[in-house]
Amino acid sequence: MPHPLGSKPSKIIAVHLNYPSRAAERGRRVPHPSYFLKPASSLSGTGDPLVRPEGCELMGFEGEIALVIGRPARNVRPEEAWAHVEFVTAANDAGVYDLRYADRGSNLRSKGADGFTPLGPRLLDARTVDPARITLRTWVNGELVQNDTTDTLLFPFAGLIADLSRLMTLEPGDVILTGTPAGASVVVPGDTVEVEVTAGATSTGRLSNTVTTGPALEEHGAMPRLDAAEAEAAWGPAHTPAPLLDPDLERGLRSVAVATLSAQLRKRGLPHMSVDGVRSTRPDLRMVGVAHTLRYLPLREDLFARHGNGMNAQKRAVEQLRPGHVLVMDARRDPTAGTLGDILALRALKRGAAGVVTDGALRDSAAVTELHLPVYHAGPHPSVLGRRHVPWDTGLPVACGGALVHPGDLLVGDADGVVVVPPHLAGELVADSREQERQERFITEQVHAGAGIDGLYPLTGEWTTRYEQWPDNQPAS
């Protein structure tokens, strides 16, 4: 089916990275948008095939929102930019990662093939659309794999238009592909990709394209090549990534008590690393994982509809979890409204989360306690978050229980509580904590035998010598 634009645009401009969920998935953020061009010959419409050349294995899909320029834009300011957009529609920024190595970042061959930019099926009048309240969804074979909104974009649409128009004239019919959220991955022949853009009650309908196999490329240039790095980039979360945390380091952190780690952190001038005021639903379970953060802000009723409903930051944070993540919530130490309930806790468990830490309240506490998932919280409360909180953003430094938690920090929890471990200190903390606990076992043994604690706790003088000669402190022969 022909694409809905009619005539071909002078250019198709695509944004590399624009959704926080995609940035979190990729593990990087950028200070300014970057772009690449796709040829107009790559345009197609709903029902047209996505042809994967024989010999290629990594056919990627990326559901996107496409902007169609309606009147020339040159040196426009952000506040004037949206008036230059005529239509909004759905797009699939498809490509084959097998050729990406040959393009040196241009994506020309990997994403510029005929049919690799389906658009449609319907165009939404931009005058009727709030650019900050658009929802993008993508399905593969009927399963929802991408679901995000434009309220937290790294680079709002008006900023993209203003940025590009500083250097070039955006002409009527030009298309801007505005980036893809988390969930983009690989499809194979026979798979059907559907993309839909909705703005309020209006919808583009589903842009539907099925992957087929095409003939092999003639050997006149670069040929498909598969390597591990490109495979991981193409598959995204569907690929089996390296563990977030080195398994040996994880075992080491599990082997020592939170109280010991806290003492060792204090010795290093870090006395404020505990998450205060939280208790665990499962004190029988130890927790070790990598921080993935979520921030709540105080409730403002006029902003809650925009930030609190739909696929809000709270739900996005759960869907972004990878095995080994600990979801850390900054709820302003306010325990008078729930920040997590049984359904999202179950979803976090299914996503492979190592635990959840919130300095706010927990709903459905009895049901959450039954899950094999340690959830540290400030207390149970029946109210939903909309009573006190607005879920605002993810993947940034937060304050939780008085502790500063940066994404990528390590969280260790047991029955005593939770401590934040800077990754660069983790190895030496484990070694020194094991030594501390070995000394404490010796001290405990002596106290059981009737010794007094003077000079024994902590070890000094003769007791130090006796500890060094202690059989449990000797290397195995």
Q: Which residues are annotated as a binding site?
A: 341-344, 363-364
Closest among 352, 364, 386, 379 to 241, alpha carbons compared: 352
Q: How far apart are CA 442 and CA 274, in angstroms?
A: 27
Q: How far apart are CA 279 and CA 469, in angstroms?
A: 40
Annotated binding-site residue numbers for Mg(2+): 364
Annotated binding-site residue numbers for substrate: 341-344, 363
Pairing of strands 325-330, 287-298: parallel
- The CA-atom distances, in angstroms, between 37 and each of 56, 97, 175, 387, 456 are 22, 16, 10, 46, 72
- Three-state SS sequence of the chain: CCCCCCCCCCCEEEECCCCHHHHHHHCCCCCCCCEEEECHHHEECCCCCEEEECCCCCEECCEEEEEEECCCECCCCHHHHHHHEEEEEEEECCEEHHHHHHHCCCCHHHHCCCCCEEEEEEEEEHHHCCCCCCEEEEEECCEEEEEEEHHHCCCCHHHHHHHHHCCCCECCCCEEECCCCCCCCEECCCCEEEEEEEECCEECCCEEEEEEEECCCCCCCCCCCCCHHHHHHHHHHHCCCCCCCCHHHHHHHHCCCHHHHHHHHHHCCCCCCEECCCEECCCCCCEEEEEEEEEEEECCHHHHHHHCCCCCHHHHHHHCCCCCEEEEEECCCCCCCECCCHHHHHHHHHCCCCEEEECCEECCHHHHHCCCCCEEECCECCCCHHHCEEEEEECCCEEECCEEECCCCEEEEECCEEEEECHHHHHHHHHHHHHHHHHHHHHHHHHHCCCCCCCCCCCCHHHHHHHHCCHHHCCCC
Tokens of 347: 């979803």
